[in-house]
Amino acid sequence: MAQQVVWGDAPLRWQDVVAVARHGALLALSDTAWRRIGQAREIVDNIVATGHIAYGINTGLGALCNITLSDDELSTLSRNTLMSHACGVGPLLSEEQTRAILCAAIANYSQGKSGISPAVVEGLLVLLNRRITPQVPSQGSVGYLTHMAHIGLALIGIGSVHYCGETVPAHQALELEGASICRLGAKDGLSLVNGTPCMTGLSCLALDDAWRLMDWADVTGAMSFEALRGQLDAFDEDVLALKASPGIQRVGQRLRQLLRNSQILAAGKGIRTQDALSLRSMPQIHGACRDQMRHAEQQIEIELNAATDNPLVLGSPESWRVVSQANPHGESVAMAADLLAMALAEMGSVAERRLDRLINPLVSGLPAFLVAKPGVNSGMMIAQYVAASLCGENRQLAQPAVLDNFVTSALQEDHLSMGTSAALKLLKLSGNLWQILAIEYLLAAQALDFHGGEQSGEGTRRAWALLREAVATWEDDRWLAPEIAKAVSVMQAEMVEP
C-alpha cells in the first residue's frame, strides 16, 4: 500500500511534496484543514448572497477589478478565467513536476484563507491520488497563472491528461475513475490560477536534487582528491573550525570519513606542500554551497506553509474581511531558487576542475586521459569536454531570473518575481550537475584503478566498488555515453555514506 501524507495539523515539509510528487505517496488533508477550507468558503457564499463588493469574488480580475458581476455570471467568470489564462506554450512539464505544483496548490488552500470551494480541493486530490496528471506547457508564467490554469481545466474536463501510461482527454480519465467534473463557483477560477504553488512545488523537487547532489559531490570529490594523492592537512578539523560555517564543518567531517584509512593517501603524504584549490578548498566551496542551500530550504518551506491567494478571506462567517494584497508575489522563492542555482553551478564548476586534473598527466602522475595505451585510445579526453560544456550552460542558467522584470495587466501588475522561470532553470541546471558529477565519478574510479581501488579510504572504496558493479574498468576505447548514463543511474539510485 502506498504511503500516505496527511497535511493540516503541523508545518508542511518540502520532503512531503517530494514523497507525493516523485515517489507516489498519497495525499490527504486533516479534518482541521477541511474545517478551515469550509469556513472560508462560507464567507465567500455570504458575500455573494449579500451583494457586498469584493475583488475577485464578484468583480472582474486584474485591470478589470472595477467591474461588478451578477450572481449568475460568477460561475462563468471562474470558467472563463481558466480558459483565458491557460495559454502556456513550449514543452510539457514532466509528470512529477505537475504533481509537485498540485501538492503546493493544495497546501495553499489547506490554510483556509482562499475561499475556494471544498469540492475543487477534493477534485485536485483526485487528480493527484488517482494519477490523472494534466498536461501543462512549461513556458508562459511570470510567477503564476498559466500553469495552474491548465491544471484547473482538467478539473472541468477540458484538455489532455497523462493517465495509465497514455495521453487521454481529461473528461475520459475522470469518467474512468468515477470522478465528477467540478462545477466552479464564485472565486474558484481566480483561486486556482493565483498564488505561488508553481514555483514552490518545482523548488521542492529542486531541493531534493540539490541535497543528493551535494552529498555525491563530496563523494566524487573525495575520490578525485585521493586519486591525485591530496594532502589531508587541508581538511584538518581544528583548521576548519576556525570558520564558523555549519556547511564547512559538515563537508570536512564527510571528507575525513570518506578518506579514512586510505593507503593511497598515506603513501603520498608529503609529496607536495599544498594542493590546487579545487582539491584543498572542497570544505570551503562545498560548505558554502550547503549553507546557501539551508537558506533556500528555509525560504521555500515558509512559502509552502503560506496563504498566497489574492484576495485573502480572513476571519469568521460572522466577522470577516476580504483583503487584496500581494502574497502571490513569490520574490522570496525566486531569490531562493536563483541562489540555489548559483550554488549548484559552483559545485559543477569545481568538479569540472578536479576531473580535468585527473586526465592531465602533467599534474596527475597518471597515464594521459586515464588509459594505459594512449594514442590508439583517446580514453576520457572528450568526457572532460562534455563536463566543460555543461558547466558553460550552467553559468548561463545561474543568471538570476528574479532581476528580469516586465509590466503586465495594463500596469496593474508592474513588478513580477519570475519565480517559476527561476525554478525551471534550476531544475535544468541540477540535471546538468548529475551528468558532471557522473563524469567525475567515472574518471575518479578509473584513476583509482591505477592506484589499486582496494587501497582507497573506507568511504571512497565503497563508492568505487559500487560503480564497478555497473561499469567495468576502461582498458580500450568503448562507447562512453552509455557509461555516463549508467553512472548517473547508480548515483540517483544509491547514496554512499561515509
Distances (CA, A) of 249 to 240, 261, 349: 6, 20, 21
* Residue ranges covered by each domain of the chain: 4-194, 208-493
Q: 154-201, pLDDT tens digit by residue?
A: 999 999 999 999 999 999 999 999 999 999 999 999 999 999 999 999
Residue 278 has pLDDT above 80, yes or no: yes
Q: Note the pLDDT tens digit of each residue in 63-114.
A: 666 777 777 788 888 999 999 999 999 999 999 999 999 999 999 999 999 9
Length of the chain: 498
Identify any residues that bridge with 68 across adjacent strands, giving them in sequence order: 59
Res. 41: pLDDT tops 90 = yes
Is residue 488 predicted with pLDDT exceeding 70?
A: yes
Closest among 215, 25, 189, 226 to 114, alpha carbons compared:
189
Rounded Cα gap, residues 99 and 21, in angstroms: 5
| Confidence tier at 147 by pLDDT (50, 70, 90) | very high
Mean pLDDT calculated for residue range 295-312: 96
CATH architecture of the domain 208-493 equals: Up-down Bundle (1.20)
Label residue 237 by pLDDT band (50, 70, 90).
very high
Please tell me the predicted confidence (pLDDT) of residue 391.
Answer: 97
pLDDT reported for residue 52 = 83
pLDDT of residue 103: 98
The CATH number of the structural domain formed by 4-194 is 1.10.275.10
pLDDT tens for 465-486 read 999 999 999 888 899 999 999 9
The cell numbers describing 377, all together, are 585510445
pLDDT score for 410? 64
Report how far residue 428's alpha carbon sits from residue 142's, in angstroms, rounded to the nearest whole number.
Answer: 18
pLDDT given at position 411: 64
Helix (H) or strand (E) holding 480, with range, is none
Does residue 413 have a pLDDT over 80? no
DSSP E strand stretches across 165-298: 166-169
Residue 159: left (phi > 0), alpha (psi -120 to 50), or beta? left
Pairing of strands 4-7, 26-29: parallel
Lowest mean pLDDT among 80-89, 111-120, 218-227, 406-415: 406-415
Q: Model-level pTM greater than 0.75?
A: yes
Cβ atoms within 10 A of the Cβ of 212, count?
16
pLDDT at 63: 62
Helices (H), 144-281: 146-155, 170-176, 188-193, 197-227, 237-240, 246-258, 263-267, 277-280
Residue 118 CA to residue 313 CA, distance in Å, equals: 14
Q: How far apart are CA 177 and CA 133, in angstroms?
A: 13
pLDDT at residue 473, as a whole number: 93
Active site residue 441: no
**Under a CB-based contact definition with an 8 Å cutoff, are residues 388 and 348 in contact?**
no
The arithmetic mean of pLDDT across residues 47-61, rounded, is 80
| Block residue for cell numbers 513550449 | 90
**Spatial distance between the Cα atoms of 195 and 272, rounded to a whole number of angstroms:** 56
pLDDT of residue 368: 87
Q: Is the pLDDT of residue 409 over 70?
A: no
- Reported confidence tier of residue 240, pLDDT bands at 50, 70, 90: very high
* pLDDT of the residue at 477: 86
Give the angle 229-233-237 at the CA atoms, nearest 5°: 130
Per the prediction, the chain carries an average pLDDT of 93
Under the banding of pLDDT at 50, 70 and 90, the label for residue 141 is confident
Which of 41-55, 87-101, 154-168, 259-273 has the least mean pLDDT?
Answer: 41-55
Mean pLDDT for 401-417 is 75
Pair 152, 121: CB distance under 8 Å: no
Confidence of residue 407 (pLDDT cuts 50, 70, 90): confident
